[in-house]
Amino acid sequence: MRVIECTHPDEAAELVANDILAALAKKPDLVLGLATGSTPIGIYERLVRAHREDGVDFSRVRTFNLDEYIGLSAEHPQSYRMFMREHLFDGIDLAPEQSRFPPTDDHDLQAACAGFEAAIREAGGIDIQILGIGANGHIGFNEPTSSLASRTRVKTLTDKTLHDNARFYEEGEVQPQLATTMGIGTILDAKRIVLQAFGTKKAQAVRASVEGPISSFCPASALQMHPSVTMYVDPASASMLTMRDYYRRVRENERSLDELGFR
Ligand code: GLP
């Protein structure tokens, strides 16, 4: 796993957005795996700006979101469909039918989840999967003890996740306890994965994901099995990494190789 320690989350957002824009320039029908939460907002802001200010064309892109709550309508302010509209889709030229979310209101959810997986395959697979991480190490809504081979399915959220996300709900408002999420196996099928983690609250999860054993108890540790994962951290989320200096040195050496013209 490549660990890039940035001085600030903005630096990470800039690097990831530029990475996506470079990939898009090479492949106009890029397939993106998208995450919600506060962490990826900076990436989406930069993609919207690239469209508005530089005319970057997203019209052939296809997107697949990681997860969605069961029981919230697409118009609910806390639904991930609404989140994506607000932070990305309304700001770029992407037709609604080119974006898919894990199914949450089909009568036969299992069949619909299989259909979602099939749609990813038909699109040619996800080129770049964006991820955040839960304080308990979850990716998407793959909570601790999720099978490392899991596919898109319904999960019950842990108390920790419910508590962390409770701030988004008004007092007395019903907070969904179920969500449909891409599985860990689904995520590992992406060609490239970028994960961003910022703040002290994520330090433990970052440490366990990068340096801990591969374990379903920390779902993000499964990323160690993927050949192309870059984890962007800030000084706070990197604070518990034991090989922090080494990751910095790796980055310096990568830069030197770049300067020398190596690919
Ligand atoms: C939710 C989402 C995850 C996200 C996590 C962290 O649980 N399902 O995909 O990574 O929150 O959110 P934040 O980026 O706000 O810390």
DSSP per-residue codes, 208-253 = HHHHS--BTTBGGGGGGGSSSEEEEE-TTTTTT-TTHHHHHHHHHH
pLDDT digits (tens, 9 = 90+) for 77-90: 999 999 999 999 99
What amino acid occupies position 72?
A: L
Residue 256 has pLDDT above 80, yes or no: yes
Handedness of CA 22, 23, 27, 30 (dihedral sign): negative
Instruction: Give the pLDDT confidence score for residue 165 in this predicted structure.
Output: 87
d(CA 41, CA 132): 11
What amino acid occupies position 223?
A: L
Instruction: Give the pLDDT confidence score for residue 210 in this predicted structure.
Output: 98
Measured at the CA of 113, the angle between CA 165 and CA 155, to 5 degrees, comes to 35
Q: Which domains does the chain have, with CATH numbers?
A: 2-260 (3.40.50.1360)
Check pocket membership of 185 for ligand 1, CB cut-off 6 A: no
Q: Is 211 part of the annotated catalytic residue set?
A: no
- Catalytic annotation, pick one of 5, 87, 117, 136: 136
- Catalytic annotation, pick one of 5, 67, 68, 189: 67
Residue among 131, 124, 104, 105 nearest 34 (CA) = 131
Instruction: Give the pLDDT confidence score for residue 41 in this predicted structure.
Output: 98
Local structure of residue 39 (DSSP, 8 states):
T
What amino acid occupies position 96?
A: P
Instruction: Give the pLDDT confidence score for residue 203 in this predicted structure.
Output: 98
Instruction: Give the pLDDT confidence score for residue 155 in this predicted structure.
Output: 97
Atom index in ligand 1 nearest the CA of residue 67 equals: 8
Beta bridge partners, 233, equal 5, 197
